[in-house]
C-alpha cells in the first residue's frame, strides 16, 4: 500500500469550550490538540496530511508548513467536512481520517489499523473501542456473522438510534481508513435526513457496503485513544492521560521520576537515561536534559538545555543553557540567554540574565549578574551586582579569568575587571580594573565615640516632650 493521505477534521466550532481560541489550538502537554494527530500521522509514514478547517476560525497559520488545509464551507457535519476534501481524495489511493480533537491516537495505532485494512482487503476500516459507558458515542452495529461492520448509528441525537442499539458497548472512534475510490464514490450520495440535519461520515459505510466493499473493524486495545475534547473538563481528562503516557515513556527509557503524581513533563521534552526528577518539578517546552542530572525538588525548566550530571534543586530556569557538571540553586533564577559553562555554579538566590559564565566560575549566593561575560575560574562574592542599565541603554560587564569580587560589590557597566583582579568588599566599581589589581572604593572608617550614650539621652528627652 502506498503512503496514505491523512485528513484531519478540525472545523468544529467548539462552542462548549467557551473560548475565543479555536478548540483544536488549546494545548495538551505543550502541544496544540491538532498537533498530536498531525505528528502521529507523520511518524506513521503518511504521505499528504491535510487539516479540514472552518472559514470562521482559520487555524492554518498555526499549522506546520508541510500540512495542507482544506476549508469546509459550512458547518454541516463530519460527512460535509470530508466531502470538502473530495478533490484531494480523488488524487489518493488510501485515505486515513482522524479528528483534530482526538489527540491520543498514536503512530503505532495508525500503523496497526492500516495494516488490518490492507490485510483484509477492506474498502473501509473503522477503529472501534469497547466502553463500559458508551455515553453519546456512535454505536458500531456489526453484520450477522459479527466479522464486519454493518453500520454506525449516532447516539447523541434523539431518534437516530433505537434502545437496542444504545445497549451496544462497541463505539466508533471517528478514526477510519478508506479505499479512496470507494470513499469518493459514496460521498456524493450522503443524505442529511437525520435528527441533526447533518451529513454524517459513518453514513458512507452502508453505501460502500451496498457497492460490494467490505467494512471491517479494528478494535483498539486501549479505549483512551478514542477520547475526544468537547469541553474544558474533557481537556483536563485528556491532559491527565497524556501526562501519564509521557511520564511512563521517560521511565521506560531509564529516567527516575520519584513522584509521577506531582511531576509535569510536556510532550517535547527530552531526558537522557539515569537522570532523576524529584517531586514538584515542571519541565516544559523544548527542554533537553543530559544523563545523570538531578532536577528538583520543585524546579521549573522552560525551553532550556541542561547538560550531564547537573543538580538543580528549587530553581527556575527559562531559555538558558547549563553545561555538564554545573550546580544550580537552591532558589536560583536563570533568565533568557544565561549560559553556564562546564562546572560553573549559580548558588542560592542568584539571578543571571543574558550572561556567559565561564567554566568553573562560581556565583555562590545573593547576586544579580546581567549582561555580563565572566571568565573561567572566577568567584563572585555574595551580593555582587552588575548595574547594567542607565535608563537608556544596557551595557556589558566583563570579568576576567580567576577574578574575585568581594562581598557587596557593585559593578557599574560598561566596566571590565581584568584576569585575577580583586575588588574589596562594599566597593562600587565604575572604572576598569587592571589584571591582578585590587580595586577599593570604600571611604575610610569614621568612629564617633560616645554616640550610643548621646543617642539614648536624645531619645529620653524626646519621650518627655
**Rounded-to-integer distance, Cα 332 and Cα 357, Å:** 14
Residue 290 DSSP SS3? coil
Among 382, 8, 51, 33, residue whose Cα is nearest residue 174: 8
For this structure, is 365 an active site residue?
yes
Alpha-helical regions (H) of 139-278: 163-166, 180-186, 204-210, 232-252
Annotate 93-110 with DSSP letters as a single string. SEEEEEETT-TT--HHHH
In whole angstroms, what is the distance from residue 144 CA to residue 113 CA? 22
Residue 425 cell numbers, joined: 568588599
Q: 74 in helix, strand or coil?
A: coil
CB atoms within 10 A of CB 232: 12
Q: How far apart are CA 263 and CA 278, in angstroms?
A: 8
- Active-site pick, 117, 218, 250, 365: 365
What distance in Å separates the CA atoms of residue 281 and residue 420, rounded to the nearest whole number? 38
Helix (H) or strand (E) holding 463: helix 451-464
Q: Is the peptide bond before 148 cis (omega within 30 degrees of 0)?
A: no
Give the phi and the psi of residue 322 in degrees, each rounded to 5.
Answer: -125, 120
- Taking the C-alpha atoms of residue 57 and residue 337, their distance in angstroms, rounded to an integer, is 36
β-partners of residue 73 are: none
Helix/strand/coil (H/E/C) assignment for every residue in 108-176: HHHHHHHHHHHHHCCCEEEEEEECCCCCCCCEEEECCCCCCEEEEECCCCCCCCCHHHHCCCEEEEEEE
DSSP string, 336-371: TT-EE-TT-EEEET-EEES-EE-TT-EEEES-EEES
Catalytic annotation, residues: 365
Amino acid at each position: 500500500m502506498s503512503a496514505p493521505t491523512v485528513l484531519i477534521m478540525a472545523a468544529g466550532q467548539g462552542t462548549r469550550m467557551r473560548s475565543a481560541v479555536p478548540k483544536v489550538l488549546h494545548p495538551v502537554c505543550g502541544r496544540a490538540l491538532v498537533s498530536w494527530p498531525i505528528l502521529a500521522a507523520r511518524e506513521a509514514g503518511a504521505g499528504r496530511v491535510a487539516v479540514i478547517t472552518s472559514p470562521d476560525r482559520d487555524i492554518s497559520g498555526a499549522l506546520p508548513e508541510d500540512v495542507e488545509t482544506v476549508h469546509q464551507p459550512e458547518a454541516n457535519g463530519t460527512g460535509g467536512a470530508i466531502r470538502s476534501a473530495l478533490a484531494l481524495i480523488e488524487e489518493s489511493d488510501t485515505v486515513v481520517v482522524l479528528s483534530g480533537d482526538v489527540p491520543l491516537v498514536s503512530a503505532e495505532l495508525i500503523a496497526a489499523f492500516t495494516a488490518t485494512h490492507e490485510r483484509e482487503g477492506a474498502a473501509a476500516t473503522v477503529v472501534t473501542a469497547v466502553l463500559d459507558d458508551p455515553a453519546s458515542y456512535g454505536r458500531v452495529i456489526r453484520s450477522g456473522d459479527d466479522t464486519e461492520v454493518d453500520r454506525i448509528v449516532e447516539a447523541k441525537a434523539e431518534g437516530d438510534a433505537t434502545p437496542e442499539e444504545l445497549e451496544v458497548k462497541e463505539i466508533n472512534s471517528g478514526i477510519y481508513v478508506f479505499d479512496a475510490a470507494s470513499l469518493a464514490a459514496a460521498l456524493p450520495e450522503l443524505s442529511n435526513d437525520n435528527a441533526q440535519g447533518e451529513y454524517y461520515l459513518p453514513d458512507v459505510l452502508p453505501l460502500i457496503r451496498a457497492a460490494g466493499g467490505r467494512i471491517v473493524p479494528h478494535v483498539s486495545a486501549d479505549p483512551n485513544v478514542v477520547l475526544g475534547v468537547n469541553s474544558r473538563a474533557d481537556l483536563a481528562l485528556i491532559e491527565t492521560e497524556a501526562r501519564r503516557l509521557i511520564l511512563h515513556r521517560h521511565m521506560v527509557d531509564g529516567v527516575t521520576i520519584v513522584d509521577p503524581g506531582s511531576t509535569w513533563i510536556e510532550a517535547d521534552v527530552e531526558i537522557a537515561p539515569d537522570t532523576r526528577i524529584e517531586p514538584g518539578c515542571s519541565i516544559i517546552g523544548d527542554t533537553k536534559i543530559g544523563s545523570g542530572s538531578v532536577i528538583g525538588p520543585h524546579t521549573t525548566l522552560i525551553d532550556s538545555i541542561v547538560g550531564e550530571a547537573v543538580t538543580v534543586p528549587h530553581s527556575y530556569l527559562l531559555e538558558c543553557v547549563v553545561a555538564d557538571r554545573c550546580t544550580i540553586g537552591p532558589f536560583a533564577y536563570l533568565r533568557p540567554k544565561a549560559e553556564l559553562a562546564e562546572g560553573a555554579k549559580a548558588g542560592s538566590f542568584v539571578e543571571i540574565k543574558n550572561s556567559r559564565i565561564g567554566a568553573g566560575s562560581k556565583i555562590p549566593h545573593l547576586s544579580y549578574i546581567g549582561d555580563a561575560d565572566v571568565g573561567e575560574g572566577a568567584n563572585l562574592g555574595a551580593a555582587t551586582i552588575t548595574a547594567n542599565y542607565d535608563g537608556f541603554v544596557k551595557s556589558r560587564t566583563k570579568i576576567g579569568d580567576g577574578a574575585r569580587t568581594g562581598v557587596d560589590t557593585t559593578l557599574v557597566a560598561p566596566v571590565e575587571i581584568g584576569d585575577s583582579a580583586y575588588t574589596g568588599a562594599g566597593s562600587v566599581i565604575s572604572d576598569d580594573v587592571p589584571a591582578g589589581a585590587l580595586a577599593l572604593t570604600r571611604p575610610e572608617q569614621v568612629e564617633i565615640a560616645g554616640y550610643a550614650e548621646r543617642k539614648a539621652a536624645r531619645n529620653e528627652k524626646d519621650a518627655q516632650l
